[in-house]
Amino acid sequence: MRPYFEKMPGFGKALKENRIARTQDSKAKLEAIEAEIAAAKKAVEEVGIPAAKINERGSLTVWQRLEYLVDPGTWNPLHSLYNPEDNEEGTTNVVDGLGKIGGRWAVIIGFDNKVLAGAWIAGQPDNILRVTNLAKRLHIPLVWLVNCSGVKLPDQEKFYADRRGSGAPFYRHAELEQAGIPVLAGIYGTNPAGGGYQAISPTILIAHKDANIAVGGVGIVSGMAPTGGFDDPPITMRPVFLPASTTRKRACSTESRNTCA
């Protein structure tokens, strides 16, 4: 195919001056619409806390990570204005597109950590499914930039339920892996609950030295402590058997605290 297109003769001819003049009004209208779209895309990029504040914390924004990761001149953003649930945030809180990494094309998606620390919000699962569908159709790797604080709890009924809800992207990850399409995740920052799930379903995990992940259990209730648990030594519980005649209903004893009843 390539030699054919290289040798294919040109077609059409240059427009005459009078025809160009007649198109100026249409051109101006199209340029005005393009400017509106560009402004709307810029507004989405600036949603949330300023990038400077993220940088002060020693982190990068998802936009800065994309700039660092993707080969220059190859980034093609997708779904920039997609907001099917008309969220108050004005975004689905994921940034996605096509780009080359080390000379190889990939579908790339990342949580916008400037908005609710990268939380799941309404409309996001459907956006993710669009992205995973693209990786499946093109048969190219899916690359995640994971920095997700979990879910926006007041709106969880809007994205947990349904066949295209929050569980569907993880099922799609399994489908991609079975089809031989790798799913890679670069993990940054603190990722509890919903963020943790994003870090356990891909094929390859690459975690920053300061990243931490917890799906549930002690990692969550300890407040995502860097050690993965509590600072206090573990408490071992053992039963205390009392005489049948006692009126006390319960008793407990620990190795690190006084016996109580």
- Domain assignment of residue 4, yes or no: no
Q: What is the Rg, in whole angstroms, of the alpha carbon atoms belonging to the chain?
A: 26
- Domain assignment of residue 243, yes or no: no
Report the domain count for the chain.
1
Helices (H) and strands (E) in the chain, counts: 9, 10
Residue 133 phi/psi, 5-degree rounding, is: -60, -40
The DSSP bridge partners found for residue 254 are 237
Strand-pair category, 94-101 with 183-187: unpaired
Q: Please, which pLDDT band fits residue 39 given cuts at 50, 70 and 90?
A: very high
- Domain assignment of residue 217, yes or no: yes
Whole-number Å distance between alpha carbons of 182 and 184: 6
Going by C-alpha positions, the residue among 88, 176, 192, 185 that lies closest to residue 135 is: 176
Task: Select the highest-mean-pLDDT range: 41-50, 79-88, 96-105, 222-231.
Answer: 96-105
Average pLDDT estimate for 238-259: 40
Burial state string for 84-102 with b = 16 or more CB within 10 A and e = fewer than 16: eeebebebbbbbbbbbbee
- Domain assignment of residue 93, yes or no: yes
Q: Cα separations (Å) of 140 from 96, 105, 113, 177, 246?
A: 14, 7, 25, 11, 70
Q: Please, which pLDDT band fits residue 260 given cuts at 50, 70 and 90?
A: very low
Name the one residue in this structure whose structure tokens are 């799941």: 120
Question: Mean pLDDT, the chain, as a whole number?
Answer: 81
Average pLDDT estimate for 128-157: 89
Residue 238 pLDDT? 45
By three-state DSSP, how is residue 207 classified? strand
- Domain assignment of residue 7, yes or no: no
Question: Which residues form the domain of 175?
Answer: 45-231
Cβ 169 vs Cβ 132: under 8 Å: yes
Assess whether pLDDT exceeds 90 at residue 211: no
- Domain assignment of residue 172, yes or no: yes
Amino acid at 104: R
The DSSP bridge partners found for residue 108 are 97, 143
Q: Please, which pLDDT band fits residue 226 given cuts at 50, 70 and 90?
A: low
Strand-pair category, 94-101 with 104-111: antiparallel
CATH number for the domain harbouring residue 173: 3.90.226.10
- Domain assignment of residue 226, yes or no: yes
Residue 219 pLDDT? 67
- Domain assignment of residue 87, yes or no: yes
The DSSP bridge partners found for residue 190 are 212
Assess whether pLDDT exceeds 70 at residue 232: no
